[in-house]
Amino acid sequence: MNTLARTELRQRSDYTHRFNEQAGRHGWLRLTPAYSVRVVDELMDRYDGAARVLDPFCGTATTALSAAYRGYEGVTTDINPFLVWLGQAKTAQYSNADIASTQRARERLICRLRQGNLEPVKAPPMHNIKRWWSKEALKFLCVLRAGIEEESEAKSPERDLLLIAFCRTLIDLSNAAFNHQSMSFKEDGQLRLPIDADMEHIFCEGLRFVLRGAENNPGGSGKVVLGDAKNLPEVVDGQFDLVITSPPYANRMSYIRELRPYMYWLGFLDNGRDAGELDWCAIGGTWGVATSRLSNWESPQLSFNHPLLDAPLREITLGKNKNGKLLANYIAKYFNDISAHMKSLAPVLKSGSKLHYIVGNSVFYGILLPVEKLYAALLESLGFEDVDCSAIRKRNSKKELFEFDVSASWPG
Ligand SMILES: C[S@@+](CC[C@H](N)C(=O)[O-])C[C@H]1O[C@@H](n2cnc3c(N)ncnc32)[C@H](O)[C@@H]1O
């Protein structure tokens, strides 16, 4: 390995160390920004003894994990089966025996990699896969994936922990760069990884990081359920004291698209059509078939209406851009879905329970969509009390974009 490669690896491992100190399991796949963990932790600090905490939009299970670390019961739902798997692995309790058997599985795996007698799995059928990984990296990942299958039992704690380390590795070896909200590719010739990087070492470092997080078991419990937040009584049992959640933002970002490398490698996706179908079920999804369906989407008669929504919808539809109608449909459907979600909350809330929605506003072609005010209006229209919006932070260089905490209480 050349000096540049060694320095880069050292820097990465310093970074890993610092991140681990701050984030533990929260940072397993580097998908959860540290500030999100902080916001959730600070909110949870306000509620002493919040026994049952619900997050209807699990994502990387920040709320459920934070609740479990405080000794509470954290329950969370997501429409994406990959995130449900990840959330279950993050909130699980790992015994010393689980950690030790994962270490033994790693040793067997490394032996097999060095012996070179593993039959590689097929590379996943991702569009333009060569853009993601060099030939060498792809070959290594196919062999590593095969070794994990052979050296750990399906659905065991060892398998989950090895697969999380595999997920870290596939991103470390890729040409993808994670910006704040979405993923992009490094230009050719500016690959993230030095050509002669030690891929086996990168995997082992990733696993070390994962195992350190796994050692620190939460005192409470976490339950992660696959289901639709538009129909909560069918998905979760009992009632909750506190809801802390960050719903999808109305910003056309597709979580399925962003997570596709993990989802394809782990077998949660095997074609673009299914990816689009899944995105269509997700609130705010816009990938593939989800976009084509949006063009013909008709808002139902009892859809959510509000002057703060009608005005931007009209301006966007009549504006000069050619996608105005599609975009207006996207926004109308988004609020329709969020309204269905909020309507499904009442049966699962205890009287006097508190809610916090961490949500950002949006700007489309210079037209501001006051998402936080619309959330507040929706909650008020459904009988929630003490509804309040407070700005938490500025989101990026666009001066209008902020993140808000929209809070309320349920009188029951
Ligand atoms: C902003 S993310 C949540 C971020 C999360 N707080 C975290 O820390 O990672 C929104 C999540 O909502 C999920 N989602 C979208 N539509 C959904 C639906 N109808 N039911 C349940 N989850 C949904 C997405 O899959 C995504 O994981």
Which residue minimizes the CA distance to atom 1 of ligand 1? Answer: 248
| CB of 344 sitting under 6 A from ligand 1 | no
Rounded-to-integer distance, Cα 68 and Cα 224, Å: 12
| CB of 334 sitting under 6 A from ligand 1 | no
DSSP conformation letters of 332-363: HHHHHHHHHHHHTTGGGEEEEEEEEEEEE-EE
Residue whose entry in the numeric block shows the structure tokens 């070492």: 201
Pocket test for ligand 1, best of 65, 78, 226, 371 (most atoms within 8 A of CB): 78
> 190-199, 223-232, 279-288, 290-299 — which is least confidently predicted?
190-199
pLDDT: which is higher, 150 or 187: 150
Q: Residue 123: which residues within 8 A CB-CB, separation 6 or more?
A: 129, 138, 141, 142
pLDDT band at 191 (very low <50, low <70, confident <90, very high): low
Which residue minimizes the CA distance to atom 27 of ligand 1? Answer: 59
Nearest to 260 by CA among 170, 188, 200, 192: 170
pLDDT band at 9 (very low <50, low <70, confident <90, very high): very low
Name the token pair of 355: 């809610």
| CB of 286 sitting under 6 A from ligand 1 | no
| CB of 76 sitting under 6 A from ligand 1 | no
Decide if pLDDT at 12 tops 70.
no
**What letters, b where the CB count within 10 A reaches 16 and e where it falls short, cover 369-379?**
bbbbbbbbbbb
Q: Are β-strands 240-245 and 52-55 bridged in parallel, bridged antiparallel, or unpaired?
A: parallel
| CB of 60 sitting under 6 A from ligand 1 | yes
pLDDT tens sequence across 334-351: 999 999 999 999 999 999
Which residue minimizes the CA distance to atom 15 of ligand 1? Answer: 282
pLDDT tens sequence across 196-219: 789 999 999 999 999 999 999 999
For the chain, give the percent of residues with pLDDT over 90.
Answer: 76
pLDDT band at 178 (very low <50, low <70, confident <90, very high): low
Pocket test for ligand 1, best of 25, 43, 58, 230 (most atoms within 8 A of CB): 58
Which residue minimizes the CA distance to atom 26 of ligand 1? Answer: 59
On average, the pLDDT of the chain sits at 90
pTM of the full predicted structure? 0.92
Pocket test for ligand 1, best of 55, 236, 255 (most atoms within 8 A of CB): 255
Nearest to 19 by CA among 11, 10, 27, 9: 27
